[in-house]
């Protein structure tokens, strides 16, 4: 990796502590990724992005700021990136997926907070992630209780705009979400000094739809019996989608898909015939959380789909591109985003329907319902998920885990036993 110490210092980072992270990440990545066999060549780009994760993209964002542009940091797939890009700003995901940041979060948050929140708060307060330093404004949402309180803590250190996400899906809730998007647009316009016009919004809707289409194409390829790409690799791409330049990301993902099309034609698979096909469902797996995929794929299974925010919840459903007024576009955005089925909604039957549909589409042998420790929402919803799977005759395994490696061995035992009985 090139030397970015000067840039990190300029960002006011704690460079010494951050160096410790830089030391462990390549090892973790090598263990999980570079040990895989028969990887597509198109993965080289994504390997490069990870190798330079705190360098190349942050440098691009800084360049954008030097030209007067703003950067918005987001934490949830309900936040419409389209609005941000339409104001000539850049949106970047900020969710923390490493145990490295958790102790920093625990200094201010209760221990029984989910690791995603603890890592995100820790990355900011400990000044050990360039993305958290670069973002001019954070955009929060009222999804779960832990996040709501985290915004209050973070807002003492950085400007935070919180979007009030309704928690039901009645017509009046979609209307309320459209109103929130309208307010967000006003906020973004004021903060950037740039007007969100119908033309600009139309272009950014196409831009983000392009990213969604590329991801859908990648996931469709995973439906093949001969699996052209591993679950670990697909997860990495889903994670990178939150950070990368959307145009380049779609281009590189499509390029990889061209290669995967060829593999399907030639009957090339990354796994042996008969390898059990697993779908993961549950809480998001923020980068660099590769633990469960790695365990499944080194225990005789292959992950073929993720019903997660780092998965299908991120890209399914396109925004209607036919609207020509900002008002119409905001309505189209509200309708698309309210199609996402997060456990913070009540009821959330749509998610159960999605899991059943995806299990068929991807021809899965079993489902693993994974919950980040202390996420009450997904933990509780697990009751319905597991009951629905049992009723449909789909084997299901419920798992709770965090970002540490302390349970890796125990998880491996349980996952291996599950895969063996499929």
CA–CA distances in Å: residue 274 to residues 219, 262, 300, 304, 318: 20, 21, 10, 13, 34
349-361 and 376-392 helices, crossing angle to 10°? 50
Which CB sits closer to ligand BJ8, 116 or 330?
A: 116
Which CB sits closer to ligand BJ8, 116 or 123?
A: 116
User: Helix count (H) and strand count (E) of the chain?
Assistant: 19, 8
Q: Do residues 284 and 308 touch, judged by C-beta distance below 8 A?
A: yes
Here's the x/- map for ligand BJ8, 354-383, by CB under 6 A: it reads as: ------------------x--x-xx-----
Nearest Cα to 278, choosing from 117, 397, 115? 397
Size of the site for ligand BJ8 (CB under 6 A): 20
Among 90, 94, 125, 309, binds ligand BJ8 (CB under 6 A): 309
Which CB sits closer to ligand BJ8, 303 or 338?
A: 338
Residue 143 binds ligand BJ8, judged by CB under 6 A? yes
Among 13, 76, 178, 287, binds ligand BJ8 (CB under 6 A): 76
Residue 122 binds ligand BJ8, judged by CB under 6 A? no
Which CB sits closer to ligand BJ8, 365 or 369?
A: 369
Helix H segments across 30-55?
Answer: 43-51
Q: Do residues 237 and 218 touch, judged by C-beta distance below 8 A?
A: yes
Task: Give 194's DSSP letter.
Answer: -
Alpha-carbon distance of 277 to 359, in angstroms, equals 10
Among 73, 146, 210, 231, binds ligand BJ8 (CB under 6 A): 146
Residue 73 binds ligand BJ8, judged by CB under 6 A? no
Residue 283 binds ligand BJ8, judged by CB under 6 A? yes
The torsion defined by the Cα of 17, 20, 26 and 30, in degrees rounded to 10, comes to: -130
Alpha-carbon distance of 409 to 196, in angstroms, equals 51
Residue 342 binds ligand BJ8, judged by CB under 6 A? yes
For ligand BJ8, which stretch binds (CB under 6 A), given 127-135, 139-147, 296-304, 320-328? 139-147
Which CB sits closer to ligand BJ8, 116 or 388?
A: 116
Which CB sits closer to ligand BJ8, 93 or 300?
A: 93
Alpha-carbon distance of 64 to 89, in angstroms, equals 8
Alpha-carbon distance of 5 to 159, in angstroms, equals 26
Residue 121 binds ligand BJ8, judged by CB under 6 A? no
Per CB under 6 A, residues contacting ligand BJ8 are: 76-78, 114, 116-117, 143-144, 146-147, 283-284, 309, 340, 342, 344, 372, 375, 377-378
């Amino acid at each position: 990796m090139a030397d970015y110490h000067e840039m990190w210092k300029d960002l006011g980072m704690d460079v010494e502590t951050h160096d410790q992270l830089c030391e462990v990440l390549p090892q973790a990545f090598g263990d999980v990724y570079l040990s895989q066999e028969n990887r597509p060549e198109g993965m080289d780009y994504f390997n490069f992005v990870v190798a330079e994760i705190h360098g190349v993209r942050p440098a691009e964002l800084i360049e954008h700021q030097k030209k007067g542009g703003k950067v918005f940091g987001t934490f949830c797939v309900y936040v419409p990136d389209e609005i941000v890009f339409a104001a000539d700003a850049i949106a970047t995901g900020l969710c923390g997926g490493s145990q490295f940041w958790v102790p920093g979060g625990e200094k201010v948050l209760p221990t029984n907070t989910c690791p995603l929140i603890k890592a995100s708060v820790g990355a900011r307060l400990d000044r050990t992630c360039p993305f958290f330093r670069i973002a001019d404004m954070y955009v929060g949402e009222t999804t779960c209780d832990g996040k709501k309180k985290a915004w209050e803590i973070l807002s003492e250190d950085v400007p935070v705009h919180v979007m009030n996400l309704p928690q039901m899906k009645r017509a009046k809730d979609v209307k309320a979400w459209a109103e929130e998007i309208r307010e967000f647009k006003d906020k973004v316009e004021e903060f950037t000094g740039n007007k969100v016009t119908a033309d600009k919004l139309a272009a950014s809707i196409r831009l983000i739809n392009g990213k969604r289409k590329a991801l859908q194409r990648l996931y469709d390829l995973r439906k093949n019996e001969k699996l052209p790409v591993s679950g670990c690799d697909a997860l990495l791409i889903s994670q990178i989608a939150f950070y990368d330049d959307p145009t380049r990301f779609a281009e590189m993902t499509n390029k990889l898909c061209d290669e995967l099309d060829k593999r399907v034609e030639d009957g090339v698979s990354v796994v042996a015939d008969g390898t059990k096909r697993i779908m993961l469902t549950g809480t998001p797996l923020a980068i660099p959380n590769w633990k469960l995929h790695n365990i499944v794929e080194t225990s005789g299974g292959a992950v073929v789909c993720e019903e997660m925010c780092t998965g299908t919840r991120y890209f399914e459903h396109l925004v209607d591109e036919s609207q020509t007024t900002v008002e119409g576009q905001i309505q189209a955005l509200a309708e698309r985003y309210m199609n996402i089925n997060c456990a913070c909604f009540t009821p959330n039957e749509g998610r159960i329907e999605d899991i059943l549909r995806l299990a068929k589409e991807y021809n899965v042998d079993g489902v693993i319902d994974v919950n980040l420790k202390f996420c009450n929402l997904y933990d509780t919803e697990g009751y319905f998920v597991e009951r629905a799977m049992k009723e449909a005759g789909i084997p299901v395994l419920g798992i709770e885990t965090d970002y540490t490696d302390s349970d890796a061995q125990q998880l491996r035992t349980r996952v291996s036993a599950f895969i063996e009985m499929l």
